[in-house]
Amino acid sequence: MGLVRLSPLLAASGLGTLAVLLLARGLLSRIPGPNPETPPALLALQQRWALDPERRREAALLQGQTTNQGWGRGPLAAVALKQQELWQPLLRRLPNEPASADALYALAEQQPRLRDTLLRRWPAHPAALAAAVSQPGVGPALHLARYGARWPGAQARISGACRQARANQRQQLALGLAGIGALGPARACLGGLPPQPQVALLLADGKPAQLQALITAHPASAAAEQALRQLADDPSPEAGSALAGLPGAWRDHPAVRAGAALRAADGSAALAVLQRWPADPASWELQWQRARRDALAGRWQAAQQLLAAGGPRLKRTQPVALQARRRFWLGLSAAQLGQTRQAQEHWRQLLRQHPGGYYGWRAATRLGLAPNGMPAPAAAEPRWTPLNSADARVDQLWRLGQPLEAWEAWRSARRGQPPTTSAALQAEGRLREAIGDGWAGLGQQELAALRLPPGQCRLQQLIETNLYRPRQLGPLAAAARQEQVPLSLLLGVAKQESRFQSGVRSVVGAAGLLQLMPETAAELAGRPLSDAELDEPARNALLGGRYLGQLLQRWDGDPLLAVASYNAGPNAVARWLPNGRATIPELWVEAIPYPETRHYVKTVLGNTWSFAKPRRPECA
């Protein structure tokens, strides 16, 4: 009788346990996919109990558990097999996954014919580039010229193949060499052959006579368009003569008209160019240069008129970063003309749309929302963020803490083609940085911000979040504490000087995170330092912080003067001081006679403001 009564209890207990398990699995299915910040306990829970087998695989991969797991036949299975170096099963089961390129490379040691399969199937994959470098002959060299001329050892292979290549092949080899800046080897590779248009553009290297010859010889080519814009941007007399010698049709090009309007005595020609070609980059540069010239001369009404020109098309097409500059100076022009409310509205709108950077800082300062001196110390490093590459496989691998696999999948999908849009630049830049190519990676993210068109607010937020993620935080924070220099300023200088790469050397010999000259570093350290010592992040940051501290002390804490001195030297800055520094600081910056220093001051202090704390645009 007792057993009879017990059976319902056991059944109820079993049903209760089953209900709890089903409830747990249901809750797990609603949790977002795991990422590198998911707590280990939750990863273990998802690996064991998630209803979705893909979720279980993701959790296992994040924990580094590639065995004792059912991986199926998808992309994650390929990654798991690769990490276990199970090359034959990988190639047999998943030949269309990028990880199979590594299998082909490994198996080609015993089966050389597989190298041809690798180059054909995965031409831009790093494994294919490594295989091509290891092979002599014209074919592998052509492959490198097209898909990976920057790969270690590729330049020597390409140059060496020129002697055996046919004429049309030498054009391709020369294009690969010229594309990485090896102009001398590219000319030698051509060996007297007339270069094709794109090769000719690279070999011209900005020289006006060669650009003119290219335009004349290939007027219908895309290279001729690029050559013309380079000529129009060149203020030298040689470039002016080259432009004057071009056929008449070229003289009605927006870049040529903009160059002529910039040199004109008044602003009427500039307004005509802006009205006719408001969406052309040459018009945007013309607008800024003429308005800057008017502002420096105190012609505020003329500056305001130029900055307001262009109409709706300019606002729809001009990159966000340039719109921030234009809006700030519209505000400053209005303020100088006594239009206080209009000035404040310009600056408030700027802070809604582009609150970071140099112009965000100056707008906030003008509105009384920021100190005129140095911003507050930098915040902690931000959390992990998605890649948003628009490639589901790449994004999944990134989310699962597999940046190398994501990078290889990205390169393979794009067949090595360089990114052009801001979305692609930010994705590739972050991938490069994650695999150790920080110099190129951060540079691509900077370019993404500069090119970003209006109307992509979420992408703007993502770019700025990652662009101003503190790097080298340990040594820079320690230096900031010891030398009593704002951490945000050290981060701002390091980003501009070295992109946080400790082994960077400038053409004049400046070294390390903060690009110290050896003589300056020796003076700060009290003794000469070896190259290895200069490259040490902690030592370089400490000495750079010490030098910045001395400059801040010399200029009574003024960041504009201190940062200008870091680039041009304090003696040069002392000569510039009478130029209106106290009344209109922004105009003083624009009056700096060295264009490099002018750009440097704005960039470093824009970095500093953005590193101080997250400042992101407001998105609807």
How many degrees, rounded to 5, is the angle at CA 127 between CA 125 and CA 131?
120
User: Is residue 497 annotated as a catalytic residue, yes or no?
Assistant: yes
- Residue 457 · residue 620 · CB < 8 Å: yes
Distance CA 72, CA 43 (A): 19
Q: Name the catalytic one among 405, 497, 586, 590.
A: 497
Question: How many Cβ atoms from other residues are within 10 Å of residue 573's Cβ?
Answer: 25
CA 544 to each of CA 380, 381, 617: distance values in angstroms, whole numbers, following the listed order: 21, 22, 32
Distance CA 298, CA 307 (A): 15
- Residue 100 · residue 78 · CB < 8 Å: yes
96-99: Cβ within 8 A, 24+ apart: 98/122, 98/125, 98/405, 98/408, 98/409, 98/412, 99/75, 99/405, 99/408
Tokens of 508: 């004049």
Q: Residues 6 or more apart from 123 whose CB is under 8 A from it?
A: 143, 146, 147, 415, 416
Question: How many Cβ atoms from other residues are within 10 Å of residue 241's Cβ?
Answer: 12
Residue 330: which of 305, 354, 351, 304 has the closest Cα?
Answer: 304
**CA distance between the termini of the chain:** 70
Locus of tokens 């695999």: 435
Strand, coil or helix: 170: helix
- Residue 571 · residue 522 · CB < 8 Å: no
Tokens of 377: 């110390």
Helices (H), 218-353: 222-233, 237-244, 254-263, 268-276, 281-296, 300-308, 311-317, 320-336, 340-353
Distance CA 425, CA 410 (A): 12
- Residue 496 · residue 607 · CB < 8 Å: yes
- Residue 597 · residue 560 · CB < 8 Å: no
Rg (CA), the chain: 29
Residue 60: which of 73, 84, 82, 44 has the closest Cα?
Answer: 44
Distance CA 191, CA 204 (A): 16
Distance CA 475, CA 514 (A): 11
Distance CA 430, CA 387 (A): 8
Distance CA 217, CA 201 (A): 12
Q: Which letter, b or e, does each residue of 199-211 get, where b requires 16 or more Cβ atoms within 10 Å of its Cβ?
A: bbbbbbeeebebb
- Residue 76 · residue 54 · CB < 8 Å: yes
Tokens of 313: 């098309």
Distance CA 56, CA 465 (A): 30
C-alpha 555, offset from chain centre: 33
- Active site (catalytic) residues: 497
